[in-house]
Amino acid sequence: MSRKQQVPRPVSALGMDDTGCPILHVDMDAFYASVELRERPELRGLPVIVGAPGPRGVVLSATYEARRFGVHSAMPMTRARRLCPRAVIIPPSRGKYSEVSRGVMEIFRTFTPEVEPIASDEAFLDVAGARRRLGPPAVIAAMIRERVAREHEITCSVGVANSKFVAKLASQHCKPDGLMVVPADQVVAFLHPLPIAALWGVGERTEQSLARLGVRTVGDLARIPVETLQHELGQAVGAHLAALAWGRDERRVTPHTPDKSIGAEETFATDVNDPERIHRELLRLSERVAARLRQGGHAGRTVSVKLRRADFSTISRSRTLREPTDVAQVLYSTARDLYGAAGLEGVRLRLVGVRVENLVPAAGMTRQLGLGERETGWREAEQAMDRAARRFGPDAVLPASLVRPSFGEIDL
C-alpha cells in the first residue's frame, strides 16, 4: 500500500460537538504488525501474525485479517496457528518498534506537552491548551492521524471525549483507522448499551459476580444501588464501577509518570535445567535491563528474579542493594545469587526474569568504595557498549558468553 493510501479516511466525527472534550486517546492500529508491513507491503490484506514462531511463542500483534479468525495478542502461537493456519508469521524485531514509538510520541508532543504514554503504541493527550492555536479537539485528532500516517506509514485510531475512560472506549469503538467523538452530553447514551466487560476493572470473576445480579450491560450496572455493588464487590471496586457506569472519571492526563520498575523475562523454547544455560540467560536479561535503566536515566536498589517451573508454578526472590546501580554485572551477580538461593538448580524451568525496583535518578550517582576496594570500571565499560549499540546495532558488543557459536548448539 502506498503512502498516499495510508492517509486516514474521512470521518463523520469531525462534524460532531466536541465542546468540553479535551481528552484524546490515540492508539496505533495493530502496531507491531503495521510496522513490519511497511517493509513488506505485499503482505497487506493478508492475515499476518508477529511473534516468536516456536512452540512456546506468543502472539505479539496480529493484523485485522488474522483477528477475524480469533487471533489476538498474548495468545499462544500454537493456538494462533490452529485458528489461522494460512497466517504469515513474522518474528519480532523490537528495536524497530521502539524507534517508531519514539517518533510517534514526539509527534504527539508537537501538539501538546500534556502527553501520557501508557504503552509503546498508545497515549492520552490533553489538548485543552492547544485549542486557541490549533483548533477544536476533533480537528487536532485528525491532524495527529494525518501526521502519523504521513511520517510513519501506519494508521491510528483516536477517541475524543471529556474523560480518559470514555476516550479510550471511543478509540476502541472506531478501530481500525478511525476517529470518534463522544459529545459530553451523550456520554451516558454511549456507555449504557455497552457490555459490562467494557468497564475498566471488570475481569472474568467480576463479570460472573455481576451476572448473579442480572447485570449484562453498563446500563444494568448503573441502575444497581452503589451499596449493593459495594456489598458484592467490595467498597473500592463497587464505588469505582458505579462512577464509571455514569461516565465519571476524574483522573487527569499525567505527562511524566516515572517508571516504578524495569524488567525483562524470557520463555525458553524447551524447559531448561542446566544451571550454566540459566546463568547465561540471567546475564542476557541483566544486560537488557541495565541498558534500559541507563537509557531512562535510572538506577535501582532492589533486584528480583522470577523463576517459573515446568508446571507453571512461579517463585520470586529479591534483594535490596546497599547502593542503587545501573550496571549489568552487578544485576547479574545478584540475580545469579538469588537463583542459587532459590534452590532450583537442576529443576526444569520454563521462564526466567530479572527486574529492578526502587528506582532513583542516575544523574550524578557515585559509588562509595569500601576500604581497600578497587573501582571495577564496569559502569564506564557498559556506557561505552551503549554508545557502540546506538551506532552499530544492539548486538555490536556482547559479553563473550553471549556470543552465538558458529557451529553446534545455539543457546537463545
* Backbone φ, ψ for residue 222 (5° rounding): -60, -25
Cell of 243: 462512577
Residues of the binding site: 27, 121
Residues of the binding site for Mg(2+): 27, 121
Query: How far is Cα 81 from Cα 70, in angstroms, rounded to an integer?
Result: 11
Cell of 181: 467523538
Query: How far is Cα 359 from Cα 337, in angstroms, rounded to an integer?
Result: 21
380 an active-site residue? Answer: no
Strands of the sheet containing 115-119, edge to edge, are: 115-119, 122-126, 23-28, 156-161, 179-181
DSSP string across 202-260: --HHHHHHHHHTT--BHHHHHTS-HHHHHHHH-HHHHHHHHHHHTT---PPP-TTPPPS
Q: Which of 65, 116, 122, 281 is catalytic?
A: 122
Contact between 60 and 73 under an 8 Å Cβ cutoff? The reply is yes
Cβ atoms within 10 Å of 226's Cβ, excluding its own: 14
Would you name the residues annotated as active-site residues? 122
